[in-house]
Amino acid sequence: MQSNDKSPQIACTLGAAEHAGRMEWIADLNATALKSYRRDGHRIRLSYRPVAAAQARELVRRERQCCPFLHFSTEQEADAFAVIIDAPGELDSVVDDVFASYVRPGGQAS
Instruction: Return the pLDDT at 66.
Output: 84
With cut-offs at 50, 70 and 90, classify the pLDDT of residue 22: confident
Residue from 108, 105, 101 nearest 25 by CA: 101
Task: Name the 3-class secondary structure at 38.
Answer: strand
Does the pLDDT at position 3 exceed 50? no
State pTM to two decimals: 0.83
Q: What is the mean pLDDT of residues 60-66?
A: 90
Q: Which amino acid is at 38?
A: R
Q: Which amino acid is at 32?
A: T
Q: Which amino acid is at 44?
A: I
Instruction: Return the pLDDT at 1.
Output: 38
With cut-offs at 50, 70 and 90, classify the pLDDT of residue 5: low
pLDDT digits (tens, 9 = 90+) for 29-56: 999 999 999 999 999 999 999 999 999 9
Cα 18 to Cα 35: distance, rounded to the nearest angstrom: 26
Which residues does residue 73 pair with via DSSP β-bridges, in sequence order? 84
| Domains detected in the chain | 35-110 (3.30.70)
